[in-house]
Amino acid sequence: MSLVVAEAITKVFGARRRRRAVVDACTFRLEPGEIMGIVGPNGAGKTTLLRLVAGELPLTTGTLAVAGHRAGTRRARRAVGYAADPPIAPPELTGTEWLAYLASQRARSSGERARLVRSAVEVGETASFTARRIATYSRGMAQRLGLAAACVRNPAVLVLDEVLSGVDPLVHRRLRQQIASHARAGVGVLIASHDLAAIERLATRVVLLWDGRIVADVRAAALLAERVVELSLAGSALADAERFVARYPGATRTGQGVAVPLTGGLSAEAVLAACRDARLAVAASRVRYRALEDLLLAAARERGEPT
């Protein structure tokens, strides 16, 4: 059974002239054990989409079920662990008090509550600062507490908004491992981030949101299996780069030249041959795996956004 089933969900803010669909007719499913990364530019609707799934906002239209229950209902909320950005926690409390409160809403005994808190402290790696007031936390500490708080009630679905931002690289790596281990245990994870490299490493599936719409929904493995040839063009050839990019679907400008995805049987040799035919002077070339950034840049180019 899918953990999240979204059918044409729409969220509109404002009224009359200021009416604006922040999430627009999005349809997707999240399966157990799946980590769905949600990427997109600022204002794309990532946070709003997550808040809809978490039951923090009501839908305008569409249907959204979480663990078999309508989103926003008591049962659906109990199935979700939500880490908001910025994290929501009373600054007057200590991290331990906050986790103990959340655990008490799930536990059947004081012993189980203590166990849930210990487990959450491990997940968020908050042991070194959890006895301090939340008001004194740095951004990274608050994000880690947010992750711990999302996990403390053993939810079926984790909804994580920028939970990996602001943490140091070593903790970042261990938190990714913790999230992945939750997914291996059957938890469905929705994670939004601007950290494309982290999403590439973590997600099993990536959704690209743009103006509230899903413009790409790809398996991470399939995306990363694709290759891209990057060409650095000599100074005079840069002027013709735009024309060259237009010849290949998904091709984008880079700082020093162009990046062309090797899809549909296209080879790096064929691209280099096309450069020779077009009399473009190639200073250097390299073949690399396709990255999320290429997906994002291609989407931006299709919409005429500056890249």
What are the residues binding other proteins (CB under 8 A)? 13-14, 20, 22, 47-48, 51, 54-58, 72, 74-78, 80, 82, 84, 88-93, 97, 100-110, 113, 133, 153
When the beta carbons of 106 and 118 are compared against other proteins, the nearer one is 106
CB 215, min distance to other proteins, A: 20
Residue 273 CB neighbour total at 10 angstroms: 11
At its nearest, how many Å lie between other proteins and the CB of residue 101?
A: 5
Facing residues of 65 across strands? 5, 70
Could you tell me the smallest distance in angstroms from the CB atom of residue 211 to other proteins?
A: 13
**Cβ proximity to other proteins, 56 vs 125, nearer residue:** 56
Strand order across the 227-233 sheet: 252-253, 257-261, 227-233, 282-289
* Beta carbon of residue 208, minimum distance to other proteins (angstroms, whole number): 19
Q: What angle do CA 154, 158, 160 make, to 5 degrees?
A: 135
Nearer to other proteins, 93 or 272 (CB): 93
Secondary-structure percent of the chain, ordered helix, strand, coil, rounded to 5? 40, 30, 35
Give the shortest CB-88-to-other proteins separation in angstroms: 5
Q: Which lies closer to other proteins via its Cβ, residue 131 or residue 283?
A: 131
Q: In the complex, what is the shortest distance from the CB of residue 268 to other proteins, in angstroms, rounded to a whole number?
A: 43
Nearer to other proteins, 45 or 188 (CB): 45
Least distance (Å) from other proteins to the CB of residue 105? 4
The residues near 128 (Cβ < 8 Å, ≥ 6 apart) are none
Task: Name the pairing type of β-strands 213-219 and 188-192.
Answer: unpaired
Closer of 126 and 254 to other proteins (Cβ): 126
What DSSP string describes 100-169?
HHHHHTT-SSHHHHHHHHHHHHHHHT-TTTTTSBGGG--HHHHHHHHHHHHHTT--SEEEEESTTTTS-H
Nearest to 209 by CA among 230, 183, 184, 191: 191
R_g over Cα of the chain: 22
A 10 A CB-CB count for 24 gives 21
Nearer residue to other proteins within complex by CB, 102 or 296: 102
Quote the CA–CA distance of 130 and 182 in Å, as a whole number: 21
Quick one: tokens of 203?
């997600």
